[in-house]
Amino acid sequence: MRDDSQRWAPPRDRVVEVTASGIAIRSFDIARLTMISGTRALTATQLAIADWPNTVEGDSYAISLRRDRILEVNGPARPDGWDADQNLAICDVTDAYTQVEITGPAALSLLNRGTELDPNTPSRSAARLLFGLGVFLYRHGHFDTYRIHAGSAQDEALWHALTDAAKHLT
């Protein structure tokens, strides 16, 4: 085994926002993320549900991941485990994801560097591959503001993919 420390740049030093031509890319934290699965998961939340290409508003909402799974963002506190009354599997996954928000007229163009994204093709799931990373992607607050959740261990990978792609925006 060799020492490969130099092959990988150390994690970035608290850079949370960059701006480029027509966009701003911002890292941000979320107080609570709750993964909820069950046959009635989509109706188990009181929160507005984000899917594609709809725009979701506010601080608290849920993201549709698949027909039996949502991710509540800043939702009510729920105990982890199997909720036998509602037949729901529940886990706090707040630290499992890293969040990035991209806003500006060039945001869609930036995202199209990493995925095939068509606002005219709806999807019930926000799950996508972006630059080869499994993410949840949806519009938030405004049609040219997008939020991305990626695995927290891939925070560096997502950040560099987005900021590298932003260099190509003109």
Q: Which residues bind another protein (CB under 8 A)?
A: 1-5, 7-11, 35, 37-39, 68-69, 81-82, 84, 87, 89, 91-97, 109, 112-113, 115-118, 131-133, 151-157, 160-161, 164-165, 167-168
Residue type, 12: R
Q: Which residue, 36 or 49, has its beta carbon nearer to another protein?
A: 36
Q: Which residue, 141 or 156, has its beta carbon nearer to another protein?
A: 156
Rounded to the nearest whole angstrom, what is the least distance from the CB of residue 122 to another protein in the complex? Answer: 15
Rounded to the nearest whole angstrom, what is the least distance from the CB of residue 108 to another protein in the complex? Answer: 11
What distances in angstroms separate CA 134 from CA 2, 20, 37, one per listed residue?
Answer: 30, 24, 18
Secondary structure class of 7 (helix, strand, coil): helix
Pairing of strands 133-140, 55-56: parallel
Residue 148, both tokens = 């991305």
Q: Is the dihedral of CA 109, 113, 118, 122 positive or negative?
A: negative
Report which secondary-structure segment, H or E, holds 103.
Answer: strand 97-103
- State how far the Cα of 108 lies from the Cα of 113, in Å rounded to an integer: 9
Pairing of strands 49-50, 55-56: unpaired
Rounded to the nearest whole angstrom, what is the least distance from the CB of residue 27 to another protein in the complex? Answer: 14
- State how far the Cα of 79 lies from the Cα of 91, in Å rounded to an integer: 8
Q: Which residue, 58 or 124, has its beta carbon nearer to another protein?
A: 124
Q: Which residue, 142 or 160, has its beta carbon nearer to another protein?
A: 160
Q: Which residue, 103 or 109, has its beta carbon nearer to another protein?
A: 109
Residue 36, both tokens = 């909820």
Residue 90, both tokens = 């529940």
